Structure 1
Amino acid sequence: MTTPLSLRPITAQEHREFIARRSSASFLQTPAWARVKSDWRSESIGWHRGAELVGVGLVLYRQLPKVRRYLAYLPEGPVIDWSGDDLQAWLTPMVAHLKQQGAFAVRMGPPVVTRRWSAEQVKAGIADDAVRSLGDVPPLERSQEGARVIAQLHELGWQHQAAEGGFSAGQPQFNFQIPLVDAEGTPRSEDDVLKGMNQLWRRNIKKADKSGVEVVRGDATDLKAFHDLYAHTAERDHFTPRPLSYFETMYDALAAEDPDRIQLWLARHEGDLVAATIAIRVGTHAWYSYGASSTEKREVRGSNAVQWAMIRHALEAGAHVYDLRGITETLDSDDPHVGLIQFKVGTGGQAVEHAGEWDLPVNRAIYKAFQLYLARRG
């Protein structure tokens, strides 16, 4: 008979050591992320089978206005075995613990893939006027594990949430990823990855090189230069930038866990900063996290050069995946978001759908009031 799972709080050190023993986990489930999200109360929890630690989670608690009740949030987590037929054995002790901590609801994002599409399929979808979204395109692959997770969550009373910002700090359900290993798990060569890109990407990488764009890895002292360019990008592209202090905290917290966990990359042309990015890596998974580019000198293709430098670094570090993070589901050629998808599709990777974020109301009355509060804000 299998020993039942128990759950209790664990130290940041136990949490770090567990993740270090795995191939990878989302950086949003590392203890360091708690330091980045300092406006949320945080806790590391661990599942035990007997004395053995078999799963971990980073819980972020956001307090409701005026009452001591919390949304307990596990972004892109928890880090458990999602492949089995008995998710209830994992989730029941977690929910019981979070309820004791004052949670009126639990939100989590199972790190489980449900569908994949090739770059060619996405490109064809954008070109087809009859196609409005990824869901209109038959996928390259449907994940049985993903389908099994979703079926179990429905049975257990969890509710699927549309990804959104604000209070939920929702993570994207659709990402774009470049596989850095083949189907057998053999690392791909730089040349193979480059050949997988479209002609425009290859030409732009070559043009940046011929133009004399130099890409270097920076450090904490370069964050101000990155942030100045990022603020310029935010003004041009009409989004609200995060403050410099956020990036300083993020850099210090992640670098303290592992010197190669966070990298700052800078592309310069004749001394001018033309592009800058932040990359993150946990084990075999590398992410492009933030990017900035100058409006001037676009013709030297600094953005392509800096991406290629990050991809090459991920390959050298033994990563299996280079993750360009979120895309919208839309493939409508008139949608303003489609330009970002086209930029990412040019890398020759895959569009990947995850299970998304799921809520379990613990106190239904407070949860309903919370949803009304969100609707009024939204």
Structure 2
Amino acid sequence: MSALLVTAAPAERRAPAGPLRVGPVTPEVHRAFLASRAAAGAGGPSFLQLPSWAQVKDGWCHQLVGWGTESGPLAGVALVLLRPFPGTRKYFAYLPEGPVADWADPDLDGWLGPLLAHLRASGAFAVRIGPGPAYRRWDAATLKAGTGAGRRLADVLADEVDPLGTVVADRLRARGWHRCGGDSGDGADAQPRHVFQIPLTGRSTDDLWSGLNQEWRRNVRKARRSGVEITVGSAADLPEFHRLLRITEERDGFRLGRDLAYYERQYAVLNAEHPGRMKLYLARHEGEVLAAHTMITVGGRVWYQTGASADHRREVRPSNALQWRMLLDAHAAGAAVYDLRGVPSTLDPGDRAHGLLRWKLGTGGQVVETLGEWEIPMQGTTNQALFRAFQAYLARR
């Protein structure tokens, strides 16, 4: 199918009635649609749906897909990552934090059904998506009060429940989709189900400062008094960032499994698509880099993606200083939200993972539970068997 040559349109515009066409779109059309969604408010789509992200993911092939009526505006797009199943011409189709569409559309089948049909025709034996709407939100103060032995996020009444998220989850279940990892989602989603966000719209820098808890304010002041300097680095600083990341992984007991080439490729392709899209922030003390964090910007959303720090001189609080500078830069750029990405679901201070949540809670933001990721196998005995084999492979990993 030739590329759809429909134009991007703001999210609030509805496509006119008529047959829906699904097919490839050019990177330019895809980016224009994402920009229109960002301009419509709420921060915009995820960086994982950028056309350039396909170049970051080594070992996957991809499609850029769009849909709309023959003469109407584009109604949705998706970056589809395709992982081939060895020895076959079949693929696992993954739409990270996508597709980008109007999830409030009551006619969900009107676009989701044709999208699935297109992916099946492309050889997909199963599809995994990450729907856009949020599900629940907890303020930092609420979770601080709810902290306790054996407790988890689900044990605390949320400050806000998004009705759209609830409706979308019900619709997907009714159509045979399965939520990865069930309702808990622990360890099952490829992208974090629980993320931490700091709203920026309508807030001053004084508001952001007062939103920090006393420990955070004390640590930022200490970093300043100790002479910690924050700068924006370049591609030449990525080896130092990666060295600190390996130290952080060893100290904190996790492995991202990403080599230096991965970050060099990410930095190159994201900034080639839009200069300044990915930045590397460095915290130096007495000339030595003690911490380094990466930041990604798409429209009105800014993400703190990956952080790394040394084992020594942690008392000068370089990571707090980095985050405060990145938060200020996001605010100055007019971002609607600063997203610190994933947090664990544990509220038990005795759990090692709780330290990450506690650190982010100190910024005064919110924990947001997304809808998580959902999967569905394509119809047919062969597709069902490949899906079960693929699930077993993921479980072993």
Shorter-chain TM-score bucket reads: over 0.9
Work out the CA distance in 2 between the residues paired with 1:169 and 1:63: 19
What's the counterpart of residue 163 of structure 2?
A: 144
Alignment of 1:1-378 (within 5 A): 2-23=17-38, 24-51=44-71, 52-126=73-147, 128-129=148-149, 132-162=151-181, 163=185, 170-181=190-201, 186=202, 188-240=203-255, 241-362=257-378, 363-375=383-395, 377-378=396-397
**Does structure 2 retain, via aligned residues, the 8 Å contact 1:107–1:359?**
yes
User: By how many angstroms is 1:42 displaced?
Assistant: 0.6
AA paired with 2:333?
A: A
AA paired with 1:304?
A: N
AA paired with 1:297?
A: R
AA paired with 1:195?
A: S
User: By how many angstroms is 1:221 displaced?
Assistant: 1.3
1:319-355 deviations in whole A, cap 9, x for unaligned?
1111110011111221110000000000000000000
User: Runs of 5+ in structure 2 lacking a partner?
Assistant: 1-15, 39-43
What's the counterpart of residue 4 of structure 2?
A: none
TM (normalized to structure 2)?
A: 0.90
AA paired with 1:159?
A: H
- Give the stretch that moved more between structures: 2-11 or 326-335: 2-11
TM (normalized to structure 1)?
A: 0.94
User: By how many angstroms is 1:49 displaced?
Assistant: 2.5
Work out the CA distance in 2 between the residues paired with 1:305 and 1:50: 52
2:52 partner SS: helix
Work out the CA distance in 2 between the residues paired with 1:275 and 1:104: 43
AA paired with 2:196?
A: F
1:360 partner SS: strand
**Does structure 1 retain, via aligned residues, the 8 Å contact 2:65–2:78?**
yes
AA paired with 1:150?
A: A
User: By how many angstroms is 1:164 displaced?
Assistant: 6.8
AA paired with 1:172?
A: P
**Does structure 1 retain, via aligned residues, the 8 Å contact 2:18–2:69?**
yes
User: By how many angstroms is 1:169 displaced?
Assistant: 7.0
Cα RMSD after superposing both structures:
1.5
